[in-house]
């Protein structure tokens, strides 16, 4: 199998594959309403993909609001979780955010994924809350 590559999506086909992955993870696996995932922000977002063997196996997006990068819609193929893909996607997202001039990354972490973000240097901001029936917490990381 070819090595994992985490980078900006390069084609509309890669973005489409990322959207299909999000649908499988969020709508099918987690029961999130499709319209909650497809919130209309994708055209303005910066999409990152993890590609292995020619297939998009992970994704996230960055939406910039001033000097804050809002990281969201992180998804990894279920059978490939636990291999460091989430960490690799986070690291690339941080590089892209710095390049774009962001001073901070903010995200809504599902509680079951909170340790991934904590290991990456993210700090909790405020109380836990429920979004689409899933427990979350806001987390932020200042960027150098």
Residue 75 falls inside a structural domain: yes
Query: CB burial class (10 A; 0-12, 13-18, 19+) of residue 64?
Result: middle
Q: Is the pLDDT of residue 133 over 60?
A: yes
Question: Which residues form the domain of 86?
Answer: 5-103
Residue 138 falls inside a structural domain: no
Residue 136 falls inside a structural domain: no
Residue 62 falls inside a structural domain: yes
The total number of structural domains that make up the chain? 1
Q: pLDDT tens digit string along 72-119? A: 999 999 999 999 999 999 999 999 999 999 999 999 999 999 999 999
CATH number at residue 49: 3.40.630.30
Q: Is the pLDDT of residue 1 over 70?
A: no
- Residue 66 φ/ψ, nearest 5 degrees: 65, -125
Residue 57 falls inside a structural domain: yes
Asked whether 132 and 33 are in contact (CB, 8 A), the reply is yes
Residue 94 falls inside a structural domain: yes
Q: pLDDT tens digit string along 26-63? A: 999 999 999 999 999 999 999 999 999 999 999 999 99
Residue 39 falls inside a structural domain: yes
* Torsion angle, alpha carbons of 74, 8, 58, 18, to 10: 80
Single pTM value for the model: 0.93
Residue 61 falls inside a structural domain: yes
DSSP label of 22: H
């Amino acid at each position: 199998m070819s090595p994992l590559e985490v980078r900006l999506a390069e084609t509309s086909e890669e973005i489409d594959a990322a959207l299909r992955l999000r649908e499988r993870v969020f709508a099918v696996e987690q029961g999130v309403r499709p319209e909650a995932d497809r919130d209309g922000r994708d055209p303005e977002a910066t999409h990152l993909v993890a590609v292995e063997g020619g297939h998009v196996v992970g994704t996230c997006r960055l939406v910039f609001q001033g000097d804050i990068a809002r990281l969201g819609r992180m998804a990894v193929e279920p059978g490939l979780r636990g291999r460091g893909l989430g960490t690799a996607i986070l690291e690339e997202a941080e590089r892209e955010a710095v390049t774009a001039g962001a001073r901070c990354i903010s995200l809504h972490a599902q509680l079951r994924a909170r340790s991934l973000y904590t290991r990456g240097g993210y700090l909790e901001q405020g109380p836990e809350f429920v979004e689409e029936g899933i427990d979350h917490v806001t987390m932020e990381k200042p960027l150098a």
